[in-house]
Amino acid sequence: MQITTTLSANPTDDARLAEILANPGFGQYFSDHMLTIEWTPEKQWHDARITPYGPITLDPAAAVLHYAQETFEGMKAYRHDDDSLWLFRPEANAARMKRSSQRLALPVLEVPDFVEAVEELVKVDARWVPGNADGGEKSLYIRPFMFASEKFLGVRPAQHVTFMVIASPAGAYFKGGIKPVNLWLTEEYTRAGRGGMGAAKTGGNYASSLVAQQEATAAGCDQVVFLDAQEGKYVEELGGMNTYFVFDDGSIVTPETGTILEGITRASIIELAEKMGHQVTERRFGIDEWREGVTSGRITEIFACGTAAVVTPVGSLKWAGGEVPAPASQDLTMRIREELVGVQLGKVDDTFGWMHRI
């Protein structure tokens, strides 16, 4: 793929960048450049370019603004101690974007083109990838996204689509660092039904989660737990994370895929936990099993995982009629977190071949 580059005339100066990277938070600051590729049926993917980061022009009739034909990804670049830069499983993000785009009737950007686009932007904005000398577990969060940019109000797949990549230095997703997240069980709202878009990473799934997130915040909780839409009995996932349940015999259960977002962190943890000697089962997991398991002590740990949130212990679960407390332990959660972050930061051997050098 031919990518043209126009460098920013006003890149962020070193002092300001150091200040941002010392305490980046999540999703607040953006690197100096962005990548754009256009698609039309005639020309296919074309006009790939890296330009200074800035606002884009979109026609008010652009289909994405009306019908939400959009997909996105979330992934990270890490700086190792020798200053080399690495992506974690970028092919997996590329493959998932392909599946999401197929579900949203968007054109497919092939895996090598996706990976090259991400790599090129990170190379241009390499100084935005934070180091980890302070033990901060920082990274450059990368947000590829694709949207219907065609000016047309008829409801059909757009004939002009734009793919972009932006990047944002990231520290902890949750304020206050690694501490258990308390969850709100929404019994009114669901995230995805059979045949819906639950397995796709598309903005609409997040838009529909916000009112439930408002309920969670009002109840003093950090995140929402969504149940299946059909029976309202089985745990699906959180607003932005997958979940794991650890039993007192060391076995682990995670909800099966279908209507949930198939997390790349989720898939990686299945492999890591199995390597650590744990039996991992993907199956339907009832909300009653959660309540009963924590109360009886059979469930010893619950954790959630995702690119932005990494691996986070789960605390209490609240709903309109009650609450179950946090499970007793966080030991395995923290071991899995250390192992995963160790691989990502180059401190633990990458036996799975997950890391992709830029």
Q: What is the amino acid identity at position 71?
A: T
Minimum CB separation of residue 139 from ligand PLP in Å reads 12
The item of ligand COI, ligand PLP, none sharing an interface with residue 89, based on CB under 5 to 8 Å by kind, is none
53 to 82: interface string for ligand COI, x by CB under 6 A: ---------------------x--------
Burial class (CB in 10 A: 0-12, 13-18, 19+), 200: buried
The item of ligand PLP, ligand COI, none sharing an interface with residue 31, based on CB under 5 to 8 Å by kind, is none
Which member of 24, 144, 169, 240 binds ligand PLP (CB under 6 A)? 240
Does 74 contact ligand PLP by CB under 6 A? yes
Provide φ and ψ at 254, rounded to 5°.
Answer: -135, 140
Minimum CB separation of residue 98 from ligand PLP in Å reads 14
CB contact at 8 A, 212 and 239: yes
306 to 345: interface string for ligand COI, x by CB under 6 A: xxx-------------------------------------
Does 270 contact ligand COI by CB under 6 A? no
Q: What is the DSSP letter of 234?
A: B
Please count the helices (runs of H) and the strands (runs of E) in the chain.
Answer: 9, 18
Does 242 contact ligand PLP by CB under 6 A? yes
Spatial separation of the C-alpha atoms in residues 352 and 334, rounded to whole Å: 20
CB contact at 8 A, 241 and 309: yes
Query: Where are the alpha helices (H) located in the chain, listed in sequence order?
Result: 14-22, 63-67, 90-103, 111-124, 203-207, 210-218, 264-275, 287-296, 331-344
In the region spanning residues 293 to 312, those forming contacts with ligand COI, defined by CB under 6 A, are 306-308
Binding site for ligand PLP (CB under 6 A): 74, 237, 240-242, 261, 263-266, 306-307
Binding site for ligand COI (CB under 6 A): 74, 240, 306-308
